[in-house]
Structure 1
Amino acid sequence: MLQENKRIMSVNYISNYESMFACPICHKSMKVLESKSLICSNYHTFDFAKQGYINFTSHLVKTKYGKELFEARRKLITDGDFYEPLSQAITKIINEQFVKTNETISILDTGCGEGSHLSNICDIINSDFFKGVVGIGIDLSKEGIMDASKNYTNKIWVVSDLANTPFKSKQFDVILNILSPSNYAEFNRLMKSDGVVIKVVPQSGYLKKLREHLFTKPEKQNYTNVDTIEKFNKSFQFVDTLRLSYTRSLNKSLIEWLVQMTPLTWTATKERVESFLNKDSAQITVDLEILIGKQTI
């Protein structure tokens, strides 16, 4: 009964924004049908899951991003406040970009995972800046979207390929891309003419103590995102860039969540991972570059 109520709540919420959707198969407009599906004029039909999300993929896509990873990431973000300065920085950017409007802002989080970044950002905007906001999270991982829909209501959660999203063109004021792969052609299509894309990439100090503990080779301990930043700047009209760097003190529980969350452990030896897990505390640096762009003229 609880899951059925969650599905109905999601259907009712999405009904308010069904005009944003376009069929990923034929690109026709879509409508909510009988409180259970989104359907286009060519009768391509996508059902609401019992948790409230919609799966627009035509086949099962397996990824390494599983249930335990997403649960650990959510705990690290919500209980550990690991990325709280990032959420505050992003909401400040959004407020500065749309300071003259009191209308509802539409935010699409691409590669949203289990949805905690989007939920936190929307909550801050609603409480601090008094703007209405509709938040939509999209990810190819069904596990991530399922976790998001279980934990965060009054959002739209979608399983979809980023190269073929189920939305009409020019629907979003803000496109977020936080520590996740991008599709700049799709971002440009989806963004409103006065919209903004905010991409977050790791910088040289990001999780450096963890990388130094897990790996011995310098190329694993250090990396650069120069190519990623150059590609971003070529794809969008440059607005601004912000370097965000801070250190978090992690207790044993937070260390466990960090290790479960990060893909860094996938290529590390079991011994080095366990050695880090055995620590009682750790000082971990979060070092990020926030890139802000608009459509090229």
Structure 2
Amino acid sequence: MNPAKIARFRDSERYFICPICHETLHLDGASLRCPNRHTFDIAKQGYVNLAPAAKQSPFYNKASFENRARILEAGYYDDIRDAVLDAVGRYLNPRAAILDVGCGEGFYARAVQRANPAADVLAFDISKDSIQQAAREDATMAVRWFVGNLADLPVRDDAIDCILDVFSPVNAAEFHRVMKDDAIVIKVIPGVHHDEQLRELAREQLRNADYSNEHVIEQFREHFNVLDMRTVSRTFAMAADDVHTFAHMTPLLFNVDIDALDLAQISELTIEARIIVARK
């Protein structure tokens, strides 16, 4: 294995705890090991599985993340990525410890690491398929990738300067536990117009065809002090192949019979998000 893939975990005791006994994890050869000898090997792709018993949703499989990667690489989410990078640059020091929760295929974590090479970027998802892909695509070999469970983060108390949460659930109790006293959360949620063309096309199959994010924002405000909020929105002309790929990766259509939809009616798609910056 490339030594750089192991070296990124050399200071694991600063951040990681054993998911079994919650003791500190140390790098030992090509593994992370706690004082009770619980051992977690670093995979050849350069990640460690700290949730070996976790079950991933059948919707979040290898094909789903490959489709997501194609859409992200095509540039449709670049405005959201840039807004995240702007928030990181404005609110964090260059050597911050940043935890990307539910990082998927790693698009945002890799971008943050490239833009902030002195930062410590940790990124996890409960899906091993997504973390394998994320680590494989990490040319910097700097992000600390791991399979993890949002309900029981294998991260030390008071270790993190920033939690990055892009389209993922919030676990306020775990967030507060791992965050330093002055830490921030950068939370990204879908905007009210996000995917509205697909939502309208699938209206008859959707439980809620009209989307509002206000209840999500209010719940977030109950746990964090909101410092800033902005909306990023852009409508793209989208080729038929990209429409098909998008339809097969978006959670909006996970419970929809996509074959019953006339995707040829979609020639453009709105990508919209609210970016919220909040303090612990």
- In the superposition, the TM-score normalised over structure 2's length comes to 0.92
1:242 matched to 2:227 = no
Provide, for residues 87-144 of structure 1, a one-character-per-residue CA deviation record: whole Å limited to 9, x for no partner: 111111121113xx4x412211100011012112332345xxxxx2222111111111
SS, match of residue 267 in structure 1:
coil
Amino acid at match of 2:212: T
Match of 1:25 in 2: 20
Which of 63, 68, 87 pairs up with 2:81? 87
1:134 matched to 2:120 = yes
1:46 matched to 2:32 = no
Matched-pair contact (CA < 8 Å) for 2:206–2:256 = no
1:114 matched to 2:105 = yes
1:104 matched to 2:92 = no
CA–CA distance in 2 between the matches of 1:176 and 1:228?
A: 16
Change beyond 3 A, Cα 1:270–1:256 = closer
The alpha carbon displacement at 1:9 in A equals 2.5
Matched-pair contact (CA < 8 Å) for 1:204–1:287 = yes
Which of 131, 137, 144 pairs up with 1:145? 131
Matched-pair contact (CA < 8 Å) for 2:54–2:149 = no
Matched-pair contact (CA < 8 Å) for 1:215–1:268 = no
SS, match of residue 248 in structure 2:
helix
CA–CA distance in 2 between the matches of 1:182 and 1:122?
A: 22
Unaligned runs of 5+ in 1: 127-131
Match of 1:129 in 2: none
Match of 2:152 in 1: 164
Indicate the larger mover: 12-21 or 237-246: 12-21
The alpha carbon displacement at 1:219 in A equals 4.8
Unaligned runs of 5+ in 2: none
Matched-pair contact (CA < 8 Å) for 1:108–1:135 = yes
CA–CA distance in 1 between the matches of 2:88 and 2:4?
A: 28
Match of 1:211 in 2: 199
Give the structure with the larger helix fraction. 1
CA–CA distance in 1 between the matches of 2:260 and 2:180?
A: 47
User: What is the aligned-residue RMSD (CA, Å)?
Assistant: 1.8
> How many residues are paired up?
277
Identity %: 30
- In the superposition, the TM-score normalised over structure 1's length comes to 0.87
The alpha carbon displacement at 1:257 in A equals 2.3
Matched-pair contact (CA < 8 Å) for 2:198–2:269 = yes
CA–CA distance in 2 between the matches of 1:226 and 1:272?
A: 31
CA–CA distance in 1 between the matches of 2:17 and 2:121?
A: 17
